[in-house]
Amino acid sequence: MEDVEPKTGEISAHPEGDNEEPDLPGESGDSTLEAKQDEIQPAMEAKEGEIEPTSDVAVGKIPSKLEVEIDNKLDGKEGEIKAEGAEKKPSSETDAARGDDIRTFTMRELLDELKEEEKGASEAKDDKTWSVDPTKDDGSDAYRSSAAGSSSFSHNDISMDLINKVTGTDEEGRSRQRMLLYAAKKYVSAIERNPEDHDALYNWALVLQEHFKCMHKARQNALSPIYGTNRMESADNVGPDSDSSKDALLEEACKKYEEAIRLCPTLYDAHYNWAIAISDRAKMRGRTKEAEELWKQATKKYEKAVQLNWNSPQALNNWGLALQELGAIVPVREKQTIIKTAISKFRAAIQLQFDFHRAIYNLGTVLYGLAEDTFRSGRPVNAKEVSPEEFYSQSAIYIAAAHALKPNYSVYHSALRLVRSMLPLPYLKVGYLTAQPAHIPIAPHKEWQRSQFLLNHEGLKQVGKAEKHLSQSPSGVLSGSPQTDKSLLKVDVQDIVSVSACADLTLPRGAGLCIETINGSVYLVADTWESLYGWLDAIRLVYTIYARGKSDILAGIITG
């Protein structure tokens, strides 16, 4: 698995993703800031001017270790998202208790066994090869064994009938299908021997999800001459009932996850992948009441997954995306609460992994959608509320940061072109904070002054009172230049050690911010907690980009 491909969410459209290149705003085009808030489309479908969020779950993609094992590309690359612990090898104690003859096989073991059978069949009959058609008997002993096994279990499990309907359209697809069929046979056999084997139930569910992905892949290949090889759709070439077949596969997978969790309630991976399966079912239903109920179920499963493993940015990111999708369906009066909850999940994911570019990008898209909603409502914004302009600016910060971290992602690049003018160029962020005089280590509250601060790729600096405040010109670029008075506060990005919220009672009224540097602590106070979160994220992102050696890219964005 290369990098996880973001899914189609919405800026005014929501994306999701999971593999080699993100399904973000406009893989084959730009993203639409004007796209409808309730519209979901895969990256390759993004139209000119369209921005979409990215997720860990690409349309038709199940980011599980099962898939990774099959692809033989397990060693996690940067940005790769997969189901945690998807292929768990039973402990030695468990194996001993069960006995080697009935233990659950891992996908790696199954593949090794399959290769041995293929090798044996090849040596036995030089003139025979594996049939690429699972329904065709080519005389191969290995194939007859696999087909016979499949037939023997089909009457016991409807899932086997569904799997047998799936066929690959090319050699790679047929090979993958053969391996999945072999894995399915083994897991069904294990479950028949021990119906309470939660490992086998969990892995059986993963196989079903992988078959669902194969059906998407088949359709993708069929449409590639027209749409390109990265397009994912809820359709395939197995017949007119393909949608119902895919939904049935996912429904069976959900049943297996439910049973595995009944037997082992603390199985985090099952909750996480169950949520993915439910989300895929919801996507197939568009913007319907049934889809709304499925998205609600998916959010509950992600919530449980996070409760079991709080240190999972992927689960938090997907939870945010599910909420974002739900927000596009529910009545308007419920939408804002759901969207704000989605924002909190994306932020939580970023706090766990500062360079998690997918969550960073998704946060940008959801803020853009919020800006659009606020602007279109035409409702006056009071002093305590965030204006559409501020939401737009915040959105641009996250999208710019995602692009700086992953400049080769065309989706991020397309989105950035649409929102760059919303930045306070040539800076990333401009706003007001209250600070004590730089030359007074401990100053009484009356000495603290509210002044303008500027943040760019080099760090944070204060604008002096004597200088005319920076104002934005019609071209979108700030006029005036910050004062270089050494008595003003300045924090260089390379000096930053950490950035955090601070509830110190000795600080003036407001939301406290502490920047730990190699030269000591710097305390600032934002007007509101909402404003503080914006500063926290922006400063952390600038430092993360610097730590990843990408400051020159950020500099190019805001000064170019």
DSSP of 237-261: SS-TTHHHHHHHHHHHHHHHHHHHH
For residue 376, the model assigns a pLDDT of 87
Confidence of residue 68 (pLDDT cuts 50, 70, 90): very low
pLDDT at 397 over 70: yes
pLDDT at position 9 is 38
Ranges of beta strands (E only) in 232-333 are none
Distance separating the N- and C-terminal Cα atoms of the chain: 34
Only one residue has tokens 């730009």, namely 30
For residue 221, what pLDDT is reported? Answer: 54
In a domain, 345, yes or no: no
Residue 483 included in any domain: yes
> Which range has highest mean pLDDT (181-190, 199-208, 434-443)?
199-208
Cβ pair 26, 411 in contact under 8 A: yes
Q: Are 30 and 48 in contact (CB under 8 A)?
A: yes
Q: Determine how many CB atoms are found less than 10 A away from the CB of residue 210.
A: 26
* Residues 105, 129 within the same domain: yes
Paired tokens of 378: 């035409």
**What confidence category does residue 74 fall into, taking pLDDT thresholds of 50, 70 and 90?**
very low
pLDDT of residue 231: 31
Q: Work out the pLDDT band at 121, boundaries 50, 70, 90.
A: low
Note the helical H segments in 471-528: none
**151 and 16 share one domain:** no
Residue 399 sits in the same domain as residue 435:
no
The DSSP code for 140 is -
Using the 3D structure, point to which of 406, 422, 438 is the last residue of a domain. Answer: 422
Q: Which helix (H) or strand (E) holds 141?
A: helix 141-154
Asked whether residue 334 is domain-assigned, the answer is no
Residue 26 lies in a domain: yes
Find the helix or strand (DSSP H, E) in which 453 lies.
strand 449-456
The reported pLDDT for the residue numbered 38 is: 33
pLDDT average, residue stretch 295-316: 97
pLDDT digits (tens, 9 = 90+) for 501-538: 988 888 899 999 999 999 999 999 999 999 999 999 99
In terms of domains, do 210 and 68 share one? Answer: yes
In a shared domain, residues 118 and 239: yes
CA distance 427 to 436: 23
pLDDT at 36: 33
- Short-list 295, 305, 416, CA closest to 360: 416
Domain co-membership, 392 together with 472: no
- At 137, list the tokens: 């008997």
The predicted model scores a pTM of 0.72
Last residue of a domain, one of 222, 253, 284: 253
In a domain, 174, yes or no: yes
Same-domain pairing of 148 and 245: yes
Domain that holds residue 96: 62-73+92-231+235-253
Please give the average per-residue pLDDT across 164-169, as a whole number.
59
Element containing residue 221 per DSSP (H, E): helix 198-227
Q: Is residue 264 part of a domain?
A: no
Pair 126, 246 in one domain: yes
Q: How many domains does the chain have?
A: 3
Among residues 399, 422, 445, which one ends one of the domains? 422
Inside any domain, residue 331: no
466 and 373 share a domain? Answer: no
> Which segment, 14-28, 66-80, 125-139, 243-257, is predicted with the most confidence on average?
243-257
Residues 413 and 527 in one domain: no
In angstroms, the Cα distances linking 406 to 68, 360, 516, 540 are 22, 11, 27, 16
Tokens 């409760």, located at residue: 307
- Whether 17 and 122 map to the same domain: the answer is no
Does residue 474 carry a pLDDT above 50? Answer: no
CATH number of domain containing 516: 2.30.29.30
Beta-carbon count within 10 A of 6 CB: 41
Lowest mean pLDDT, pick from 185-189, 218-222, 373-377:
218-222
Per-residue confidence at 70, pLDDT binned at 50, 70, 90? very low
Q: In which band, very low, low, confident or very high, does the pLDDT at 383 lie, cut at 50, 70 and 90?
A: confident
Residues 110 and 244 grouped into a single domain? yes
Question: Domain for residue 295, yes or no?
Answer: no
Band of residue 118 on the pLDDT scale cut at 50, 70, 90: low
Q: What is the pLDDT confidence band of residue 224, given thresholds at 50, 70 and 90?
A: very low
**pLDDT at 378 (0 to 100):** 78
Q: What is the mean pLDDT of residues 331-339?
A: 92
